[in-house]
Amino acid sequence: MGVTDWLEASALGVWTRESPSIWAYPTILTLHTIGLGMLAGANAVVDFRLLAFAPRLPLSSLLPLYRFMWSGLAINVVTGVVLFVAEATSKARQPVFFVKLTVIALALATTVKIRSSLLQDPAIEHSGTIPRRARQLALLSLLLWTAAITAGRLMAYLR
Amino acid sequence: MDGFVAWLEATALSRAVVGHGWVWPLCETIHFIGLSLVLGIAGFFDLRLIGFLKRVPLAAIRDLMPIAVVGFVLNLVTGLAFFIGMPHQYVRNVAWWAKVCCLLLAGLNALLFETLLGATRSLGAGDDTPLSAKVIGAVSLASWLGVLYFGRMLPFLGNAF
């Protein structure tokens, strides 16, 4: 018996998958969607700011948004692990699941890069023009988070 | 209602939505991207109204509203595609009606904000919002989360898959 069989047969796996309770699979899945909205949504705010859609928005005032991103990420790591445990054998065989994990890793790296190198750069804040590198990173972030959502959604359709 | 469902399901548009295997997954994906844009930008504005993120000038967030509107239109179009494709999944689904109610509440609330609290729009960095704006922000955030909740619960509280 492999690790994924063991996970799926665990008490947590069985409860998540088989409990008729609204608090089992339905609520965990809904929390995963709320976490997605917090993480990708707050990211989009920063990215569109860096793409000059809202030039009057002070970059440094967006720093508290990262609390919402990290909260969304925490919700989705926990709920994502539980959702995986519930259907470990089939999900571990889905190529799109590994595409999703890879894309999320790249997207997170981009988010961290933007947070550490751009949001506290006084040159960007006060010059009024956004350097090419910042715009490229913002566009990359938007594309990667969109790809992460797409891969996640396609897990329900591609076997 | 049954007659309407039968008529809608016989339309060419309905058959196009369910007749191609890729249309539904594509619309679902777009629906989740739109969700993120609406929740991210409207939620940002609502949090500022409630009293969080005080260093953000309210007027500046409004510059992002066109993007939230794009997200909403994406979701309206793909949502209509779901409804036209499989109306029987929704017309007797309690979660769908709850979702529609939350959408109407969010819309009326936004209208109330625009008509009553026009001056709030120009609040700058550090300015506190009046209590009325805090209430409207909280109602807005709750109603958008309600739209998301009942949308995600369509298969579990009701009969949609």
Give residue A127's pLDDT: 74
Measured distance CA(A127)–CA(A111) in Å, rounded = 22
3 state SS for chain A: CCHHHHHHHCHHHHHHHHCCCCCCHHHHHHHHHHHHHHHHHHHHHHHHHHCCCCCCCCHHHHCCHHHHHHHHHHHHHHHHHHHHHHCHHHHCCCHHHHHHHHHHHHHHHHHHHHHHHCCCCHHHHHHCCCCHHHHHHHHHHHHHHHHHHHHHHHCCCCC
From the candidates B20, B26, B152, which should be mutated to test the interface with A, based on the most A CB atoms within 10 A? B152
Q: Report CA B16 to chain centroid distance, whole Å.
A: 25
Under a CB-based contact definition with an 8 Å cutoff, are residues A155 and A94 in contact?
Answer: yes
Using the Cβ of B57 and the Cβ atoms of chain A, whether some distance falls under 8 Å is answered with: yes
Give residue B50's pLDDT: 96
Chain B residues closer than 8 Å to A60 by CB: 55
Q: Distance (Å) from the C-alpha of residue B77 to the closest C-alpha of chain A? A: 18
The per-residue pLDDT for range B33-66, each reduced to its tens digit, is: 999 999 999 999 999 999 999 999 998 999 999 9
Q: Distance (Å) from the C-alpha of residue A13 to the closest C-alpha of chain B? A: 19
The per-residue pLDDT for range B110-157, each reduced to its tens digit, is: 999 989 887 888 888 988 999 999 999 999 999 999 999 999 999 999
Whole-Å CA distances, A84 to A18, A89, A144, B84: 14, 9, 22, 33
Smallest CA-to-CA distance from A154 within A78, A88, A107, A103 is with: A103
The per-residue pLDDT for range A52-101, each reduced to its tens digit, is: 899 889 999 999 999 999 999 999 999 999 999 999 999 999 999 999 99
CB contact under 8 A, B156 and A26: yes
Token duo for residue A1: 């018996």
Give residue B100's pLDDT: 98
Q: Is B152 exposed, middle or buried (0-12, 13-18, 19+ CB in 10 A)?
A: buried
Cβ-Cβ contacts under 8 Å for A118 (sequence gap 6 or more)? A50, A59, A124, A134, A137
> What's the residue count for chain A?
159
Using the Cβ of B39 and the Cβ atoms of chain A, whether some distance falls under 8 Å is answered with: yes
CB contact under 8 A, A57 and B57: yes
Rounded to the nearest integer, the mean pLDDT of chain B is 94
Residue A128 pLDDT grade (very low, low, confident, very high; cuts 50, 70, 90): confident
Which residue of chain B comes nearest to A23, CA vs CA? B156
Using the Cβ of B77 and the Cβ atoms of chain A, whether some distance falls under 8 Å is answered with: no
Q: Distance (Å) from the C-alpha of residue B3 to the closest C-alpha of chain A? A: 31
Which residue's entry shows tokens 């960007």?
Answer: A124
Measured distance CA(B81)–CA(A106) in Å, rounded = 32
